[in-house]
Structure 1
Amino acid sequence: MGALSNLRVLDLTQVLAGPYCTMLLADMGADVVKIERPGGDLIRSNPPFVDDPEEEAFGGYFQSVNRGKRSIELDFGDEADREDFLSLVEEADIVVENYRAGTMEKYDLGYETLTEYNPQLIYSSIRGFGDPRTGETDRQGQPSFDLIAQALGGVMEITGQEDGPPTKTGPGVGDLFTATLNCIGILAAVNHREQTGEGQYVDTGMYDSMISFTERAIYQQSYTGEAPSRQGNSHPTLFPYDAFETADGYAVIAAFNDKHWADLCDAMDRDDLAEEFPTMPERLANRDGLREEIADWSADVATDELVDSLEGRVPAAPVQTTEEIFADEHIHARDMLVPVEQPGADTEVEIAGNPIKMSETTPQPRGRAPLLDEHREEILGEEAETTADD
């Protein structure tokens, strides 16, 4: 029994942001009913596959963010399917969708309509540019993806090497961070409803979320009047706080307070640097030359040796590949790799676990992602039973 096992979520989302949000809710125990359009979520067919895309029901993309959900296929253009959806809304706690603004209204299934069927409903949307209900702009209705959000929100401008082009982050933070914030908003709305009996609309825009995500750049612009830009793996106000090439890879070192700096210099056998640059302002003023000194030292030291020499004294870590992550005992002890069935393949696969740990109701993935329309009879049968009971 998860912490949210009393909640039913109708999940109309697809691709990444919405499914990640509802995945978090499912991991925490909510009954998430994934309502898929005819043909299913667009990413069901996305690779990678274990072996044979023709035999396997879905790829890793879909599996990762739709685990533990139930699926029903509905066509909102069909009157019977629309009625089935509205019957589910009457008993639901939360509806989540990530269509363009106005899409649900085309089917007369917008927030205002659904609350006629369930006044306590929490209706949540994830859009590129938010919803007119919470602040209207001329961008609403435009399509948006992670790349668009990162570009507009300033993430790309401050990511990458100083002499290189703007670069998006590896993970899709435009989707994932927005989804996480949306999940927080939903849970806040649930708490508000517990106190007042009132449902409400929750709206999270990807562009808005990237402004929150780049918070440092926002205050830098305000305080200094200058637009921050790319500076590789370094930090604008801390030094050393960077990645350094080693004899066999890369390691990161975060030795920005005075004691960390002295301990780093000791490991480098360069007490002269500790004595010459004892304070942060002095180190920041001479960061280019000091970075070269550290880089010269690290280039001759194996990654593990470098990290071991600093362990317990200076924050440092290897830059790991996913292969190394899979071999890390810490990851297994923390249940951060979860095996699930891969339909159509004679094997299990592993997906990322849930980082939220709780003493009584620890979130955990509850099995594989659903087959398309796998739970139609189960879900509509439950609804028929509820109606009969009423």
Structure 2
Amino acid sequence: MTTEPTSLDGPLHGLRVLELSRVLAGPWASQMLGDLGADVIKVEQPGQGDDTRRWGPPFLPDGSRDSAYYLCANRNKRSIAIDIARPEGADLVRKLAERSDIVIENFRVGALARYGLDYESLRAIRPDVIYCSVTGFGQDGPEANRGGYDFLIQGMSGVMSVTGRPDGEPGEGPLKTGIPISDLSTGLYATISILAALNHRYRTGEGQYIDVALLDSQVALLANQASGWLNGGVEPKRMGNAHTLITPYQDFTCADGDIMIAVGNDRQFAKLCDVLGVPDLATDPRFAESGERSANRADLFAVIKPIIAGRTSADLLEALDAAKLPCGKVNTVPEILAHPQIEARGLIHELTRDDGTPVKFLGFPGKLSRSPATYRRVPPRSAQHTAEVLGAELGLDKDEIAALLSSGIVADRL
């Protein structure tokens, strides 16, 4: 279903976000707010910029040496470089905060208080500000003062204990996910929390403080694995690509490569048995119901794996698809980015830097029919908008900006 949008500004148009964060979780949250129309001002360290600018290769070939990693999380932003350790720099940030609806920061617990940039200090000048702190372990608890990194959190949270090949199989052992899932999920939870706080402010006029932690966010994603332990006393184990409760629901090897088959119920299992030419399996007491199939998966696989191994992937996928069974191939990243479905959904976009360098990116996946996401600004060079923001937003004249630049309190683009 499609309808013509009524706004091309985005649903958050008119809101300003002041970003005092770097790397991924905070920038991921602020980028989503920017995609939805908010004006995002990213404050970076003079001469350094966001850490991820140097996390390469690959880098953009435009002389900026900005990495592809940085580009994935920083579109729809303006970049300004301010030395917040100097009183004059901190004062500039406070003036920007006074004009901002949302502040996102990911400094260590208590670090911004020494500069007068903590929530209590900014609430004094902007009472309805929504202030979101992103840390590894949260603002309290015995681990609060520790630094948090995605890999560390994946291991501590338990997610690595349920990811990887089972004990006794080649390649056994815990594995991290192939994407920084702890950072990304924290950015998503931060965005959800900020939007909830915005609605609260619209109803009451009150701002509020939001405490989002990588560890909390990753543990929350344990979902069914945690519920099985909390409610049933069952400790989850690594299952490789198999499912703990549903069978067959994993990868299988065909004559020419691997495919995925995801059978979610007994009706689908009966259809699979028909496709594989073994309809009697669907009424075998060992396999007829989901629980029995999982308990007897070794016996089931002894029958169906050789059959699947004798079929080509294209032939079997065509037959499974005709039977309306969930199936597919294991795509590489280049393959899925070139997939007709991704093209049809319009997920890949391109913006151009002022020197003509193209930047491609994956857009916001939600399709809002009346106020869709928009892509207005290419990921900026470090400090690209320093003069623009100081002039247009804080009303400083050219001489005042020049004095700040010469003193090193602020910096122009690297």
Normalised TM-score (structure 2)? 0.88
1:152-171 to structure 2, matched below 5 A, reads 152-163=156-167, 164-171=172-179
1:1-390 to structure 2, matched below 5 A, reads 1-38=9-46, 39-49=48-58, 52=61, 55-131=63-139, 136-163=140-167, 164-276=172-284, 277-311=287-321, 312-341=323-352, 347-385=357-395
User: Which 10-residue stretch deviates more, 151-160 or 253-262?
Assistant: 253-262
- How many percent identity over aligned positions? 37
State the SS of the aligned residue for 2:173.
coil
Provide the C-alpha distance between the structure 1 equivalents of 2:377 and 2:275, rounded to a whole number of angstroms. 47
CA contact under 8 A between 2:59 and 2:66: conserved in structure 1? no
Provide the C-alpha distance between the structure 2 equivalents of 1:150 and 1:384, rounded to a whole number of angstroms. 41
* Residue equivalent to 2:401: none
Q: Deviations over 1:79-136 (max 9, x none)?
A: 22211111111110000011111111121211100101100000001110011xxxx2
Shift of 1:229: 1.3
State the SS of the aligned residue for 1:251.
strand
Amino acid at match of 1:208: D
Q: Deviations over 1:46-85 (max 9, x none)?
A: 21335758x2341101111001110000111122221111
Unaligned stretches of 5+ in structure 1? none
Provide the C-alpha distance between the structure 2 equivalents of 1:225 and 1:90, rounded to a whole number of angstroms. 50
Q: Deviations over 1:128-147 (max 9, x none)?
A: 0011xxxx212011111111
Normalised TM-score (structure 1)? 0.93
Amino acid at match of 1:334: R
Q: Deviations over 1:343-375 (max 9, x none)?
A: 77x652422221111101111433320111111
**Structure 1 residues 290 and 267: alpha-carbon distance in aligned structure 2, compared to 1, 3 A threshold:** same
User: Which 10-residue stretch deviates more, 322-331 or 333-342?
Assistant: 333-342
Shift of 1:323: 1.7
CA contact under 8 A between 2:95 and 2:394: conserved in structure 1? no
Provide the C-alpha distance between the structure 2 equivalents of 1:243 and 1:258, rounded to a whole number of angstroms. 19
Unaligned stretches of 5+ in structure 2? 1-8, 398-414
Root-mean-square deviation (Å):
1.9
State the SS of the aligned residue for 2:394.
helix
Provide the C-alpha distance between the structure 1 equivalents of 2:180 and 2:15, rounded to a whole number of angstroms. 28
State the SS of the aligned residue for 2:146.
coil
State the SS of the aligned residue for 2:212.
strand
Amino acid at match of 1:155: V
CA contact under 8 A between 2:136 and 2:213: conserved in structure 1? yes
Provide the C-alpha distance between the structure 1 equivalents of 2:22 and 2:314, rounded to a whole number of angstroms. 42
CA contact under 8 A between 1:56 and 1:342: conserved in structure 2? no
Provide the C-alpha distance between the structure 2 equivalents of 1:233 and 1:314, rounded to a whole number of angstroms. 18
Amino acid at match of 2:260: V
Shift of 1:282: 2.4
Provide the C-alpha distance between the structure 2 equivalents of 1:367 and 1:269, rounded to a whole number of angstroms. 55
Count of residue pairs brought into register by the alignment: 381
Provide the C-alpha distance between the structure 2 equivalents of 1:340 and 1:292, rounded to a whole number of angstroms. 52
Provide the C-alpha distance between the structure 2 equivalents of 1:257 and 1:328, rounded to a whole number of angstroms. 28
* Residue equivalent to 2:412: none
**Structure 1 residues 268 and 343: alpha-carbon distance in aligned structure 2, compared to 1, 3 A threshold:** farther
**Structure 1 residues 72 and 47: alpha-carbon distance in aligned structure 2, compared to 1, 3 A threshold:** same
**Structure 1 residues 192 and 251: alpha-carbon distance in aligned structure 2, compared to 1, 3 A threshold:** same
Amino acid at match of 2:371: T
Amino acid at match of 2:153: A
